[in-house]
Amino acid sequence: MITLSFNTFTLLISITVIIALSFGLLLLLSSHTQKSADRFLAALVFMVAFWNVSILLLEVNLYRYAAGIIWIPFKYTLAIGPCLYFYVHAITHSDITDKRRVWPHFIPVTVEVLMFLSQVFIGLPQHKAYFQTQLFQMVDPVISILAVMSVVIYSFYSWKLIQHYDCWVENNYSHHHRYQLNWLKRLLPTFFTLFLIYFVFLVGDYFFYDYQLTFKDYYPFHLTLAGISIWLCFEAYSKPDIIFPDANVPVSESAEVNIDSEIANQADWLKETLEKNRLYLDPELSLKSLAVTLDLHPNLVSRIINEGLGKSFSECINHYRVEAVKRLLSDPQHRDDTFLAIAHECGFNSKTTFNRIFKKFEGQTPLDYRKKQRV
């Protein structure tokens, strides 16, 4: 008679596995622009789900009744870090152009799977499960530590990619806060911290408990990891406003000739053009659209703004918008206009962005500024 053991944990972990697998399938079938990002994130969530499935199988004693399952590798811990990194890489770049640089990162997980199969082969003649073999006792702690190191290292480089992406957005879009990956910047430290806590558990298990803690002692880690992976999938699937950098376009030689000597003149011309044509009032203005209007290469426009004006693109455009707001707030004809109406008229596309940027430039809220103007 088959007797399976179920409890609160198995119910919770089963729910997380079903949700994670569902999100993974949605990502694989989605119509998002960046297929590479979806594939890496789906792989990440599948690996976390499979890891939890391995714990679930042990909990309900299914290995005892379905011996064939023992041959299936469910742990791919050494691939979690690379999948996380290449997911971030895919959403912060136009695409991963050189696939040959990707696959070497997955050699360690291939070794992990081979070690698992070796444990199964060794255990079969002895009528032991793979986790009861001496090879498992020797290798598993090492693989677990390497998995933590992998996640920590790849998380660090993922963070650097996000910072670089944020700088690119700020230099290319006036409403850069809309496109910054703040949700990912919240998730990544959480992911990083969880694995550091897991590392502490592993070290304590190895040195104080002779690596005899059961999988039940790691329930909190597995549930939290499942929750974070689902959170990541939900955020990624529901974020339409991710701007992907264009592939680097070489600047023509003519655009590079004598730029240093002409920067000051070009900066004056750019300021005059922005003020005369009031280009900053376009709420969707970007570095690329401005370059098209000026009939210049985006790299050249960026250099004129950065070096000639000493500002980023967003700082430059938002400076003009704030000055336009101040003029309207001081104008008696606009005394009864709402802040939202003034914000939209001056190129801001949301009241939240307007309030934040105005306070950043003026050190006070629009309301305080208007009150002072009326005194």
pLDDT digits (tens, 9 = 90+) for 30-57: 776 677 888 999 999 999 999 999 888 8
> Which class for 101: exposed (0-12), middle (13-18), buried (19 or more C-beta within 10 A)?
exposed
* Residue 99 in this model has a pLDDT that exceeds 90: no
Where residue 95 falls among pLDDT bands split at 50, 70, 90? low
192/196 Cα distance (integer angstroms) = 6
Q: What mean pLDDT comes out for the span 11-19? A: 90
How high is the pLDDT of residue 224? Answer: 92
Is 210 or 341 the better-scoring residue by pLDDT? Answer: 341
pTM of the model: 0.73
Query: Who has greater pLDDT, 32 or 231?
Result: 231
Domain parsing of the chain, residue ranges: 8-237, 253-374
Average pLDDT over all residues of the chain: 84
| pLDDT of 161 above 50 | yes
253-374 folds as Arc Repressor Mutant, subunit A (1.10.10)
User: Does residue 242 sit in helix, strand or coil?
Assistant: coil
Q: Residue 82 above 90 pLDDT?
A: yes
Q: What are phi and psi of 180, to 5 degrees?
A: -70, 150
Q: Which CATH number fits domain 8-237: 1.10.1760, 1.10.10, 1.20.1070, 1.10.357?
A: 1.20.1070
pLDDT at 249 over 50: no
Q: What is the mean pLDDT of residues 270-277?
A: 90
Once rounded to an integer, what is the mean pLDDT over residues 319-343?
90
Helix spans in the chain (H): 8-29, 35-59, 80-92, 107-123, 134-172, 182-208, 219-237, 253-256, 259-277, 287-294, 298-303, 313-330, 339-345, 351-362, 366-374
How much is the average pLDDT of 164-187? 79
